[in-house]
Chains A and B, each alone.
Chain A
Amino acid sequence: MTAGRRALAFAWRSLVRQPARATLGILGVAAVGALLFDMLLLSEGLVISMRGLLDRLDYDVRVTATDALPGTGPTIDGATGVAAAAAALPSVRSVTTLRIADAAFERGGLSTRGSLQGLGGTSTRRPWTLLRGQDVGGAGELVINEAGARQLGLGPGSSVTVRASCSDQREAAPPVAFRVAGVVAFPFDSPELVTAATTANSLAEACAGLGAEAADFLLVASKGDPTATVADIAALPFALRAFTNEQVIGRLEEGGFTYFRQISAVLTTVTVSFALLLITVLLTVSVNQRLGEIAALRALGFTRARASADIFAESALIVGLGGLLSLPLGVLLAEGLDRILKRMPGIPEQLHFFVFEPQALAVHGALLAATAVLAALYPMWIVARLPIAATLRNEVIS
């Protein structure tokens, strides 16, 4: 048996001899470790989740009129011409124009507000997943998400009246009747937000021709090199801004996404410090209670290194077992915390704050290992400097 294994076996016996304190120590590390694991998942969770959503759409470049994020800035005028010019670029596979208008949806006595998207351009692909019915075909048809279908009792073949608000003037256009072709899932759907989509021409009709040639942004699929596509689009004579998915993520990271990363960093620091302090105290008190026993072992021939290794092994066992237990606990806790945060309005249903990635697991393990080492340093120092004869004498006369 190697020295390391002997130290581990000895430390294990020490823990088993005092099951209550060992169990509580391990459970404490498990609770702290679960929180630490969750904070590590939170630090990159939104970014990973958003990247997944953007990549899932199969478009790798977004084009806007200004530096504002897609959907938050001014519209692109003459979108049809811009889309045609972009589609003609050798690096571009397809282009979809997307215009988003606020809308009121009415059916019978039911009414709800939401958004109506109008899609144009050269692409036949749709940025949604068909759940029931058919995709948008001809004029006067739309697809609607589950929230809209549920709130208005709609299904494929139903009729719905739409009052679109298509300009900054907030003037409601005349009501237009649409036929529901199908029920779909949009990637950025939130549970209560009603979203519908139709063709760009049908939306223009719903808007009574207002801003018929405008688009909020363009979705572009490159032929494999989005960076080259961005450069090609920037060279077009339209003064547009093009962003790859990574650049969009970068912009989001500069904004509100950083809040959770900062919170995660603060809580990770607090959690690790908390664990370090408490394990150090546990081990130190434990060592102080066993000074006589340790001195006796030293007198029997245990070297300083061996006695110190026992303390380190004890720390490693408490942190290791607690750390292992913290992973399933952390997953359960992350699900609960994710549910809490997703109650925020406008958060897409498929976006998650806590997303697993192997790197988080590696950092979790490294931080706990560092905690085990640092927490053991002081008690190991006590053991290494223990005067054998004086300690045994004190033990006898006390």
Chain B
Amino acid sequence: MAGAVLSAAAVLGAQEAQPPILVSRQLAALERLAVGDIVELAADARGTNARPFRIVGIYEPTPDPMRLGSVPREVRLHLPDLLALTRDPAVPAGSEHVEAINVALADPGDAQQFARDVNARLPGLVARPTGAAGPDNPFIVIERFHLAIAVVTIVAATVFLLALTIMLVDERRETVGVLRLIGLPVRRILTQVLVEGVLIASAGALFGLALAAASQGLINRFFQWRYDTALIFVRVTPEVAATCVAIAVPLGAAATVAASWALLRRGALRLARR
């Protein structure tokens, strides 16, 4: 028993001596690592100058859309530990380089000016505001691509909708003819058709939103599983929902009225004729 305790104490003492690291969830799962494990890290594949580290936590990497498809097998070290591990023996301590420096400005609105100043005063450095999303930003481009596909889908849906409403209105030709014969003016019938169209389009839009809300979970889960990421691919926001309703309801109502208008231009007797 004593030996076991001493051994555990010795291990505990050794563990406390190791610099701590965090391991990404994906790497931990791949290598079956757990908190408390001691692992050796080296700067090259041959394991030159490998050093022991203690895993103090497993973390979920911040989702990065730019790295979609590459599973983040990463560890996070304190900067001095990383420099000690990777420093070229010829490079004196304190003169190492870093790839990037993240700067939080007191006023984020100064980002453009700050980047301009750094670029002008420090040749060899490139400063970019992180919030800058120009027209060539990949996500703006992807958004535009999806918008174009949405427009084509809306055009196709509108054409089908017109075909359907023409058929449905045609089905009610006799009813409309009778209404005209008993004295209802065209405007009154059109108003009724418009209200019907708005109701049906609203119901359709709400059903579509419910379908989108239900499917967004499935789509997100599929892509998150496929790419092993916590990124969210589809999100039905209130703005998106409002845009959909704003397009679908007027379009549905307009299609109903347009189809009915063609019918109502005919004479009442011709409409009522069997």
Are A21 and B149 closer than 8 Å at their CB atoms? no
Q: Contacting chain A: which of B52-60, B103-111, B161-169?
A: B161-169
Q: Which of B125, B149, B163, B227 contacts A24 (CB 8 A)?
A: B163
CB under 8 Å from chain B, chain A span 58-84: 66
Which B residues touch A163, using CB under 8 A? 123
A sample of 7 cross-chain residue pairs with beta-carbon separation below 8 angstroms, ordered by A number, consists of A21-B163, A28-B160, A255-B70, A289-B170, A341-B141, A343-B135, A345-B138
A170/B149 contact (C-beta < 8 A), A21-B166, A28-B156 known? no
Against B, the Cβ 8 Å flags (1 = close, 0 = not) of A191-225 are: 00000000000000000000000000000000000
Distance between A118 CB and nearest chain B CB, rounded to angstroms: 19
Question: How far in angstroms is the closest Cβ of chain A from B238?
Answer: 23
Evaluate contact between A24 and B156: CB separation under 8 angstroms. Answer: no
Q: Would you call B148 and A266 a contact (CB within 8 A)?
A: no
* A337 CB to nearest B CB, Å: 6
* A285 lies within 8 A of B167 (CB): yes
B69, B135, B219: which contacts A255 (Cβ < 8 A)? B69
The reply to whether the CB of B2 lies closer than 8 angstroms to some CB of chain A is no
Q: Which of A87-115 contact B (CB under 8 A)?
A: 104, 113
User: Is A278 close to B, CB under 8 A?
Assistant: yes
Q: Which residues of A contact B162 (CB under 8 A)?
A: 24
- Contacting residues, chain A, for B144 (C-beta < 8 A): 340, 343
Indicate whether A31 sits within 8 Å of B152 (C-beta atoms), given known contacts A24-B160, A24-B162, A24-B166. Answer: yes
The dominant DSSP class at the A interface is: helix
Q: Is the CB of B170 within 8 A of A27?
A: no
Those of B203-229 within 8 Å (CB) of chain A? 219, 223, 226-227
Asked if A286 is an interface residue, CB under 8 A from chain B, the answer is yes
| The one of A35, A337, A344 that contacts B156, using a Cβ cutoff of 8 Å | A35
Residues of A bordering B, CB below 8 Å: 20-21, 24-25, 27-28, 31-32, 34-35, 66, 104, 113, 163, 165, 168-172, 239, 254-259, 262, 266-267, 271, 274, 278, 281-282, 285-286, 289, 333, 336-337, 340-341, 343-345
- Chain A residues near B31: list those with CB within 8 A: none
CA distance A158 to B154 in the complex (A): 53
Cross-chain contact B159 with A24 (CB below 8 angstroms): yes
Contact A340 B145 (CB under 8 A): yes
Identify the closest chain A residue to B139 (Cβ).
Answer: A344
Query: Given A256-B69, A343-B136, A20–B166 Cβ distance below 8 Å?
Result: yes
Please name all residues of chain A whose beta carbon is closer than 8 Å to the beta carbon of B219 when the two chains form the complex: 266
B contact residues around A257 at 8 Å (CB): 69
Asked whether A32 lies within 8 Å of B156 as measured between CB atoms, the reply is: yes
Q: What's the Cα separation between A258 and B219 when bound, in Å?
A: 15
Known interface pairs A165-B124, A170-B125. Does A344 touch B226 (Cβ–Cβ under 8 Å)? no
